[in-house]
């Protein structure tokens, strides 16, 4: 079988991997598949006792994961995928199913039960084909299968077990080990597909795609398909009875047969085909048992409970824009919401500038300490015209930043809305005022030269700030105390708002010392020491930054945070078990990124960690728009997807252990040096 032509059948389709596993991501992207990662929210809590065989449990979990994402995306991401791939890997030994260990003791229990024995690794895979019909209902078609691989562990001494557990690798891995990294040392032999043990049976997946897309050439009927698959030493519970809906009819040699009702309780393994059709219809519809169709309660245009609760903003939290279906008929009017969307985009710069100006003029600070002032009183305090202040306050109220109270015979009184109270006053715990000022003074001027930036493919710092600069930090941000302080304030405010999500993204209990490279004011370092009581963090940044960092320290500064001044391209890096790179790599050219990564790799011994925090672009680079818009400022660096970062780090000897999309501005990835 030629692999690429099968994978290439998916070109141009929106393929989604419903899994956050960096190992699956790497296997599929190495195979040349282009896809987006949308981790499933389905909790792996199915009652294992309900399943006759362990693989049924893995397949059912894979199905639930894929279907959850397929159903969620049209609402939350405002786009319908073509194909969603779900997978679940379990390890079975002595009749027990082992999933991911919850803590070190659990990992010990699992690994000692595997010591000296052969066990089975099952990966259940579900492929959901989504077909959006003209009335915008979505039909789902499901194909699933599983793969089994036998693995034998050597006898593991207590020492070896604990050393492995303390490496941190067992967490988040089925059975408590990762065969592709340190865990490979525990394995005596593998019978079957190695990648299946890593987390995804690529070979079986390609064969399944081949069956689906080339039914005539790969295997012309159901029986031969089953035989062929069993000859490959695997089992299949699924034969596609109908090609994906978007394939031409002539490619459909098979009759559509009734498919199993979509729940594992009703599925009878001997008779159930695992090719299911699942339909979305409006609430109040009934299950039509004769057609074996699961009637779902989700629909884009129906008022079922879930749909009713969902408002569709122009941007999703990941910043993707809903695809439009704008009518081209000259006589009809454009849809109101489409017109509003485009107007919102046109007005975006006005809204940003109103926020920047009100923040700069301390409107939110004033109204936080003295709520209830009218426009004339605010104007007097901020030393501005009454007319201008009235306009600014009204605009801010319309944007949801201020609340205005009408008073009989008096001008309206203003106070901060909840959103403003949380983020806009200087003293708010999550104040973004520093970052807002940076956007106003340093980003806005660059964007006013966007056309030149696009034409030249180069940053416009010279036009915007009148300076040529080789090093953005040393030459632009740090050549005056005022600009440096503003930049540090910006980094500080954003790190305070996002730092906790990054600091708590992974179990870091196996690391004792960390070094935050380019750690600026230390805001992130303090979040790390708060979240990890056993961790000390050294902040490493340029001397000019470190000398001003003291004014940003919290009142009760934690003595586990220390500062070292230096240049991470030239100087020796402080020794640590874990290096942190937060919002650093995207700013630098490939050449500088390589220099920095090689210095980190040299400083790391095997088992050391590298925690990378950036905005991770979707794999197909369709979002999030925050990352893509940031790239428009044309710094020397670039924005990357999780896979791109993963491959970059792999070239320096790091394997990606975990990836987290935190949904809180910054994503994170934990890599281990091997
Ligand atoms: C975009 S900021 C990120 C700050 C911080 N990591 C965060 O997430 O808030 C980049 C940081 O890298 C630091 N930096 C730039 N060049 C450096 C160098 N050559 N050596 C050490 N630090 C440097 C800057 O001073 C700045 O604090």
* Over residues 246-266, mean pLDDT: 30
pLDDT at 224: 30
pLDDT at 625: 92
pLDDT at 216: 61
Is 266 inside a domain boundary? no
Round to the nearest angstrom and report the end-to-end CA distance of the chain.
34
Report which ligand 1 atom has the smallest distance to the Cα of 666. 8
> What is the rounded average pLDDT for all residues in the chain?
81
Report which ligand 1 atom has the smallest distance to the Cα of 613. 8
Residue 395 banded pLDDT, cuts 50, 70, 90: very high
Assess whether the C-beta atom of 548 lies below 6 angstroms from ligand 1. Answer: no
Residue 669 banded pLDDT, cuts 50, 70, 90: very high
pLDDT at 285: 28
What does the pLDDT look like over 31-58, one tens digit per residue? 888 888 888 988 877 888 888 889 999 9
Nearest to 459 by CA among 627, 636, 639, 638: 636
Report which ligand 1 atom has the smallest distance to the Cα of 478. 25
Assess whether the C-beta atom of 583 lies below 6 angstroms from ligand 1. Answer: yes
Question: Ligand 1, atom 8: nearest CA belongs to which residue?
Answer: 582
The last residue of a domain, from among 212, 237, 256: 212
Question: Ligand 1, atom 19: nearest CA belongs to which residue?
Answer: 567
* Over residues 383-390, mean pLDDT: 97
Rounded to the nearest 10 degrees, what angle do helices 222-231 and 202-213 cross at?
160
pLDDT at 3: 55
Do 504 and 404 sit in the same domain of this protein?
Answer: no
173 three-class SS: coil
Catalytic-role residue among 82, 88, 144, 210: 88
Nearest to 39 by CA among 80, 69, 63: 69
- Number of domains the chain is built from: 3
Residue 208 CB: number of other CB atoms within 10 A? Answer: 25
pLDDT at 330: 60
pTM, to two decimals: 0.58
pLDDT at 533: 93
* Over residues 421-428, mean pLDDT: 96
The angle at the Cα of 442, spanning 436 to 448, to the nearest 5 degrees, equals 105
Q: Which residues of 77-104 are buried (b: 16+ CB within 10 A; e: fewer)?
A: bbbbbbbbbbbbbbbbbeeebbbbbeeb
Do 420 and 567 sit in the same domain of this protein?
Answer: no
Q: Exposed (0-12), middle (13-18) or buried (19+): which is 547, by Cβ within 10 Å?
A: exposed
Q: Residue 72 sits in which domain range?
A: 3-212
- Asked if pLDDT for residue 399 goes beyond 60, the answer is yes
Do 49 and 111 sit in the same domain of this protein?
Answer: yes
Assess whether the C-beta atom of 87 lies below 6 angstroms from ligand 1. Answer: no
Distance from Cα 465 to the centre of ligand 1, integer Å: 20
CB under 8 Å to 399, separation ≥6 — which residues?
A: 351, 354, 355
Assess whether the C-beta atom of 569 lies below 6 angstroms from ligand 1. Answer: yes
Assess whether the C-beta atom of 584 lies below 6 angstroms from ligand 1. Answer: yes
**For the complex shown, is ipTM > 0.85?**
yes
478 sits in which H/E element: none
Lowest mean pLDDT among 42-46, 279-283, 580-584: 279-283
Residue 214 banded pLDDT, cuts 50, 70, 90: confident
- Asked if pLDDT for residue 612 goes beyond 70, the answer is yes
Is 438 inside a domain boundary? no
Do 419 and 485 sit in the same domain of this protein?
Answer: no
What does the pLDDT look like over 221-242, one tens digit per residue? 333 332 222 223 333 333 333 3
Is 348 inside a domain boundary? no
The whole-angstrom separation of Cα 383 and Cα 376 is 10
The angle at the Cα of 381, spanning 426 to 491, to the nearest 5 degrees, equals 20
Q: Exposed (0-12), middle (13-18) or buried (19+): which is 3, by Cβ within 10 Å?
A: middle
Active site residue 88: yes
Report which ligand 1 atom has the smallest distance to the Cα of 587. 1
User: In this structure, are residues 128 and 42 in contact, taking their beta carbons and an 8 Å threshold?
Assistant: no
Lowest mean pLDDT among 52-56, 348-352, 496-500: 52-56
- Asked if pLDDT for residue 552 goes beyond 80, the answer is yes
The last residue of a domain, from among 413, 428, 443: 428
Is 329 inside a domain boundary? no
User: Is the dihedral angle over the CA atoms 377, 383, 387, 391 positive or is it negative?
Assistant: negative
Say which CATH number the domain at 385 has.
1.10.10.10
Whole-Å CA distances, 660 to 17, 249, 579: 14, 41, 17
Ligand 1 probe mutation, 434, 541, 561, most atoms within 8 A of CB: 541
Say which CATH number the domain at 77 has.
3.90.950.10
Assess whether the C-beta atom of 491 lies below 6 angstroms from ligand 1. Answer: yes
- Asked if pLDDT for residue 81 goes beyond 70, the answer is yes
Say which CATH number the domain at 591 has.
3.40.50.150
Residue 588 banded pLDDT, cuts 50, 70, 90: very high
The last residue of a domain, from among 212, 229, 256: 212
Do 25 and 126 sit in the same domain of this protein?
Answer: yes
Do 537 and 389 sit in the same domain of this protein?
Answer: no
User: In this structure, are residues 66 and 85 in contact, taking their beta carbons and an 8 Å threshold?
Assistant: yes
pLDDT at 217: 61
* Over residues 70-83, mean pLDDT: 84
Assess whether the C-beta atom of 582 lies below 6 angstroms from ligand 1. Answer: yes
CB under 8 Å to 156, separation ≥6 — which residues?
A: 111, 112, 114, 115, 116, 164, 186
Share of the chain above pLDDT 70, in %: 82
If you ran DSSP here, which 8-state letter would residue 636 be given? Answer: S
């Amino acid at each position: 079988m030629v692999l690429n032509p099968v994978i290439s059948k998916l070109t141009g389709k929106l393929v989604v991997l419903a899994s956050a596993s960096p190992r699956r991501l790497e296997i599929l992207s190495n195979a040349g598949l282009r896809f987006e990662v949308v981790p499933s929210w389905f909790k792996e809590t199915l009652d294992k006792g309900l399943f006759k065989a362990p693989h049924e449990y893995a397949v059912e979990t894979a199905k639930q994961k894929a279907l959850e994402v397929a159903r969620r995306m049209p609402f939350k991401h405002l786009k319908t995928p073509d194909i969603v791939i779900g997978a679940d890997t379990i390890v079975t030994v002595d009749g027990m199913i082992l999933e991911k260990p919850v803590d070190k003791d659990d990992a010990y229990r699992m690994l000692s039960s595997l010591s000296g024995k052969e066990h089975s690794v099952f990966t259940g895979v579900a492929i959901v084909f989504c077909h959006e019909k003209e009335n915008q209902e979505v039909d789902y078609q499901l194909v699933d299968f599983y793969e089994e691989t036998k693995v034998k562990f050597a006898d593991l001494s207590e020492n070896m077990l604990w050393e492995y557990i303390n490496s941190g690798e067992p967490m988040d891995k089925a059975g408590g080990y990762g065969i592709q990294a340190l865990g490979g040392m525990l394995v005596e032999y593998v019978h079957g597909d190695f990648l299946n043990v890593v987390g995804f049976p690529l070979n079986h997946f390609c064969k399944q795609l081949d069956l689906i897309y080339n039914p005539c050439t790969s295997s012309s009927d159901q029986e031969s398909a089953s035989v062929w698959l069993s000859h490959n030493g695997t089992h299949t519970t699924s034969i596609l009875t109908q090609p994906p809906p978007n394939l031409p009819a002539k490619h459909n040699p098979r009759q559509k047969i009734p498919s199993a009702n979509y729940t594992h309780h009703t599925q009878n393994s001997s008779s159930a085909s695992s090719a299911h059709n699942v339909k979305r219809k409006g609430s109040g519809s009934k299950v039509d048992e004769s057609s074996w169709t699961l009637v779902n309660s989700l629909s884009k245009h129906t008022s079922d409970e879930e749909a009713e609760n969902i408002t569709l903003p122009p941007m999703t939290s990941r910043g993707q824009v809903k695809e439009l279906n704008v009518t081209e008929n000259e006589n009809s009017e454009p849809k109101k919401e489409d017109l509003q969307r485009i107007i919102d985009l046109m007005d975006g710069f006005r809204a940003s500038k109103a926020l920047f100006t009100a923040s700069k003029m301390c409107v939110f600070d004033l109204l936080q300490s003295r709520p209830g002032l009218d426009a004339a009183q605010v104007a007097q305090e901020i030393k501005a015209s009454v007319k201008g202040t009235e306009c600014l306050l009204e605009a801010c109220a319309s944007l949801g930043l201020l609340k205005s109270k009408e008073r009989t015979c008096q001008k309206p009184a203003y106070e901060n809305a909840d959103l403003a109270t949380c983020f806009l006053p200087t003293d708010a715990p999550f104040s973004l005022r520093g970052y807002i000022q940076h956007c106003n003074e340093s980003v806005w001027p660059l964007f006013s030269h966007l056309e030149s930036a696009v034409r030249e493919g180069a940053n416009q710092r010279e036009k915007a700030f009148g300076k040529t600069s080789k090093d953005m930090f040393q030459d632009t941000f740090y050549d005056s105390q005022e600009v440096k302080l503003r930049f540090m304030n910006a980094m500080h405010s954003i790190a305070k708002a996002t730092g906790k999500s990054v600091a708590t993204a992974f179990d870091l209990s196996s690391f004792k010392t960390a070094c935050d490279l380019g750690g600026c004011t230390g805001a992130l370092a303090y979040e790390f020491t708060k979240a990890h009581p056993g961790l000390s963090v050294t902040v490493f940044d340029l001397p000019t930054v470190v000398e001003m960092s003291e004014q940003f320290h919290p009142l009760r500064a934690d003595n586990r945070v220390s500062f070292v001044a230096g240049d991470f391209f030239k100087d020796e890096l402080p020794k640590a078990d874990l290096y942190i790179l937060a919002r650093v790599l995207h700013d630098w050219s490939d050449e500088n990124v390589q220099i920095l990564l090689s210095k980190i790799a040299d400083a790391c011994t095997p088992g050391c960690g590298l925690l990378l925090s950036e905005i991770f672009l979707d794999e197909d680079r369709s979002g999030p728009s925050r990352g893509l818009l940031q790239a428009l400022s044309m710094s020397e660096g670039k924005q990357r997807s999780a896979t791109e970062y993963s491959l970059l780090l792999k070239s320096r000897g790091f394997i990606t252990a975990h990836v987290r999309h935190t949904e809180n501005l910054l994503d994170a990835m934990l890599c281990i040096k091997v």
